[in-house]
Amino acid sequence: MIDESQATAVEEPEDDLEDEEPMLTWRPMTERTDLDMTSMMDCVFLLLIFFLVSSAPDQDTSVELPPAHYGGGVTQESSVIITVADREGDLPAAVYLGDGTGGTPVSDDPKQQEATIIDAVTKGVMSGEKSSVLIKAARKVRHKYVSQVAIAVGKADIEDIKMHIAVFEKE
C-alpha cells in the first residue's frame, strides 16, 4: 500500500478552453420581411396556360356587329366590279368581269387573266364613268386568288384609282 505521505502530487494539465473563443457565436434573430414569389408566379402561369389550353370556346356563338359610322359605300355605277367565286375541288377561283357570276369566267391562265383585268380596268376608268375598282370575293375563296386580281388591278398603272375589296356570302 502506498502511503499518503509518499505520494507525489501529479499535476493535471489545465484546460485552456476558457481562453479560446467559442466555436459558434450568438447572432441576434432578424425577421425576414421579403418573400420569394418566383415559385408562386410559376404556379400561377402554369395554371393559366392549363385553363387556356383546356377550355373549349363556344363555336355557335354569333356576334352582331354594329353598322359602320365612318366610311362610304361603293356604288356599282362608279366602280369597275370584278367578282371572284370559289369552285368545287382543287380548281382555282373563277374570276368574272362584272357583278355576279353570270356569264363565262375569265381564263384560268394567270397571264391571260391579268391582261383581261388590266384591259377592263383601263377601259372602265378611261371612259370617265368609273373612279374605283371593287373586287367582290366569295367567303371561301383563298387569299392568293384575290391577291392575284388585286396585283393585276395595280398593274393597270392608273393614277388615283381606289381599290375596294368586299366579301359576299354564297346563296
pLDDT in tens, 104-158: 888 888 888 889 988 888 888 888 888 888 898 988 888 888 898 899 888 887 8
Is residue 118 assigned to a domain?
yes
The residue range of the domain holding 111 is 79-168
What is the residue-wise DSSP string for 85-109?
A: E--STTPPPEEEESSSS-SPPPPSS
Beta-bridge mates of residue 126: none
DSSP summary character for residue 59? T
Number of domains in the chain: 1
Is residue 152 assigned to a domain?
yes
pLDDT in tens, 7-52: 555 555 555 555 566 677 777 777 777 778 889 999 999 999 999 9
pLDDT at 87 over 80: yes
Beta-bridge mates of residue 54: none
Is residue 57 assigned to a domain?
no
Is residue 108 assigned to a domain?
yes
pLDDT in tens, 48-66: 999 999 988 777 777 787 7
Is residue 148 assigned to a domain?
yes
114: domain CATH number? 3.30.420
Is residue 124 assigned to a domain?
yes
Is residue 115 assigned to a domain?
yes
Q: How many CB atoms lie within 10 A of CB 41?
A: 10
Mean pLDDT within 155-166: 83
Is residue 74 assigned to a domain?
no
Question: For residue 41, what pLDDT is reported?
Answer: 93
Question: For residue 109, what pLDDT is reported?
Answer: 85
